[in-house]
Amino acid sequence: MKLSELKVIVTGAASGMGAHFARQLAAEGAQVAAGDINESLLSELPQSIHQRKLDVSDPHHCEAFVAWAAEKMGGLNALVNCAGILRDGLLVKKDRETGAIKKLSKQDWKVVLDVNLSGATFMAQEVVAYMAEKNVRPGVVVNISSISRHGNRGQSNYVAAKAALAANTLTWAREWAQFGIRCTAIAPGMIETPMTRGMNQKARDAVVAMIPSGRIGEPDDIWRAVKFTIECDYFNARTMDVDGGLSF
């Protein structure tokens, strides 16, 4: 698919990788509809990008956003599923001072699954339903997974969501082949974003030290992978790790 022919939704587009993807797609000539729960940051995107508040964890929000985006762009043939949050913590841990056993809260488990997995699923479902009904061919959905999908201490909720999203990339590619729609995924490693800048510095330095490429990644590193998966019509059903060689 040519980027200039895209009518694409980008979720999580107010900051970090999502904002970078939205800007780059627009610069390549694509029509872009950007959604995020943070309307203030969303408004900082170029005015050429359609913008609207989006809470991906709410299926009604997803349905309304897709209808709005298709109307604004005169159609729809792509989705970049980028919305995501972190609520890191050990599933079970012992307090260093008191020795008390503490558990990851049920709320922290639920909210990460609601946004990172259910939200991505709701968006994909609505976008593909639209394309199937309108007989839009070809189409593509790009899921943003994570190398944490392979397992990472202190991220049971995030790992569960991102691993499931990678698995469903294959599932959905098989289901949507009949509609001429591909499904791909990118699994970023440690990337410079507002999310990772909030990490404990000692923990951040330890992760960077394990990266063979010798540096933290930049959003543009992931953008190049997203661009490839959109443009290469033979790339389908697979999740591409883009992590500088990092392994936990």
Using one digit for the tens of pLDDT, what is the confidence trace for 29-64?
999 999 999 999 999 999 999 999 999 999 999 999
Amino acid at 142: V
In a domain, 18, yes or no: yes
Residue 98 belongs to a domain:
yes
Residue 67 in domain = yes
**Contact (CB, 8 A) for 165 and 120:** yes
Q: CB-hemisphere CA count at 13 Å for 26?
A: 20
Point out the residues that are catalytic. Answer: 158
Domain harbouring 203, CATH code: 3.40.50.720
Q: Is the pTM of this model over 0.75?
A: yes
User: How far apart, in whole angstroms, are the C-alpha atoms of residue 118 and residue 116?
Assistant: 6
**Is 30 part of a structural domain of the chain?**
yes
Paired residues of 36 in beta bridges: 53
DSSP 189-230: -SB-SHHHHTS-HHHHHHHHHT-TTSS-B-HHHHHHHHHHHH
Q: Percentage helix, strand, coil, to 5, in the chain?
A: 45, 20, 35
ω before 212 within 30° of 0 (cis)?
A: no
pLDDT value of residue 216: 94
Q: Report yes or no on 136 lying in a domain.
A: yes
Sign of the torsion formed by the C-alpha atoms of 188, 148, 216 and 14: positive
**143 to 55, 140, 232: CA distances (angstroms):** 17, 10, 15
Angle between helices 59-73 and 120-134 (to 10 degrees): 40
Cα dihedral 196, 226, 166, 37 in deg (nearest 10): 50
Cα separation, 232 vs 247, whole angstroms? 27
Is 56 contained in some domain?
Answer: yes
For 102, the domain range is 3-242
248 within some domain: no
Task: Name residue, tokens 């980008």.
Answer: 10
Low-confidence ranges of the chain (pLDDT < 50): none
**pLDDT at residue 248, as a whole number:** 63
Domain membership of residue 176 (yes or no) is yes
What's the domain count of the chain?
1
